[in-house]
Amino acid sequence: MNHDTRQKILRTFLQNKAAIVGLVLSLIVVFTCIAAPYLPLPDPINQSMSLRFKPPSWQHPLGTDNFGRDVLSRVIWGGRVSIVVGVLSVVMAMTLGTIIGLVSGYKGGYIDNLTMRIVDVLMCFPTLILGILFMAALGSGMTSLIIAIGIAIAPRFARLCRGAVLGVRQNDFVEAARSMGMSDLRIMFRHILPNVLGDVIVMGALWVGAIIITEASLSFIGLGVPPPTPSWGRMVREGLDFMGHAYWVSVYSGGAIFITVIGFNLFGDGLRDILDPKLRQ
């Protein structure tokens, strides 16, 4: 990509208001969560029975929960889990999927046939169900969440990457590289990979939001990060039991998920509009 194209892409991005709103929203969420230890927030874990179910006020802008913990503080601390899992799962799925897709698309033949069959079948299962299954296999915890969700969606990246590789493989420069005696590994990673990376990154950006939802769903079921570490999905679940007199626990923690996900979705959508050559024409 030369300087001019880069300039053009940046300009198109700056014209896309929705994408900028998305970027700003995601950055605010990410930085607030990173800054959690330095913000003047009450402890998210310490319980105080005298403060149970306090409605939103100046002291507790989003109220307190059944253990007297400040909901705002728990929402901000809980975001750390969601963001880390969201981003790292995508990175993991991207890496895994890209490698599988590269090898499968480049090698072709029975390797391609076999991997794509497996990918097809894995894509038959709803992502959440696969996530549940892998979580059950790995046990609860943040690392398990990242691995479980990463593996569950990697097939989608493999499928996309393989399709892109099939297109790039036809190019003369690949043939030229081969005739110069370059190794397959070098051709795959130095010559083909840079040409398919754009597609993979766009898809990654589009998936961060969906993964944050998946993570929240798993914690909602009780398969996420174990308590007392706050996580959005479980906060919504816990709040459901006392919706009648303390709606704020569920509603605000769910609202945090919504704001974060819509930020990432707007940004991902904008990124696709800019980088997708089919839409650019």
Partner 1 sequence: MIAYTIRRILMAIPTLWVALTMIFILVRVIPGDPTSAVMGDYVTEKSLEVLKKQMGLDLPLIEQYGLYLYNFIRGDFGNSLITGAPVLKELKNALPHTLELTFTSLLIGMVTGIPLGIFLALKRNSFWDYLGRFFSLAGLSFPSFYIAVLLILLFSMKLDLLPVMGVGATGDFWDRMHHLVLPSLTLGLLMMSYLTRMTRSTMLDVLGADYIRTAHAKGLERKKVIFKHALKNASVSIVTVLGIYAGILVGSSVMTEIIFNRPGLGSLIVGSMLNRDYITINSIMTVYAAIVIFINLITDLSYGLIDPRIRYE
Angle at 257 between CA 252 and CA 262, to 5 degrees: 120
> In angstroms, what is the minimal distance from the CB of 1 to partner 1?
26
Measure the CA–CA gap between 109 and 99, rounded to whole angstroms: 17
The answer to whether 264 touches 90, Cβ cutoff 8 Å, is no
Residue 63 sits in the site that holds partner 1 (CB under 8 A):
no
Confirm or reject binding of residue 240 to partner 1 (CB under 8 A).
yes
Quick one: 159 or 191, whose CB is closer to partner 1?
159
Long-range contacts of 65-69 (CB under 8 A, 24+ apart): 65/235, 65/238, 65/239, 65/246, 65/249, 66/238, 66/241, 66/242, 66/246, 66/249, 69/42, 69/43, 69/44, 69/45
Tell which one of 121, 167, 185, 241 touches partner 1 (CB under 8 A).
121
Whose Cβ is closer to partner 1: residue 150's or residue 239's? Answer: 239
Residue 266 in contact with partner 1, rule: CB under 8 A: yes
Q: Which stretch binds partner 1 (CB under 8 A): 50-58, 103-111, 192-200, 220-228?
A: 220-228
Residue 250 interacts with partner 1 (CB under 8 A)?
yes
Minimum separation from the CB atom of position 149 to partner 1 (A)? 13
24 binds partner 1 (CB under 8 A): no
**Shortest gap between Cβ of 247 and partner 1 (angstroms)?**
6
The nearest distance, CB 46 to partner 1, in angstroms, is: 26
SS3 69: coil
Q: Please say which residue, 150 or 187, places its beta carbon nearer to partner 1.
A: 150
Kindly identify the residues of this chain, within the stretch 122-141, that bind partner 1 according to CB under 8 A.
122, 124-129, 132-133, 136-137, 139
70 DSSP assignment: B
Q: Is 216 in the site for partner 1 (CB under 8 A)?
A: yes
> What does the alpha-carbon distance between residue 68 and residue 126 come to, in Å, rounded to a whole number?
37
User: DSSP states of 148-204 as a string?
Assistant: HHHHHHHHHHHHHHHHHHHHHHTSHHHHHHHHTT--HHHIIIIIIHHHHHHHHHHHH
**Residue numbers of the site for partner 1 (CB under 8 A)?**
18, 117-118, 120-122, 124-129, 132-133, 136-137, 139, 209, 213, 216-217, 220-223, 233, 236-237, 239-240, 243-244, 247, 250-251, 254-255, 257-258, 261-262, 265-266, 269
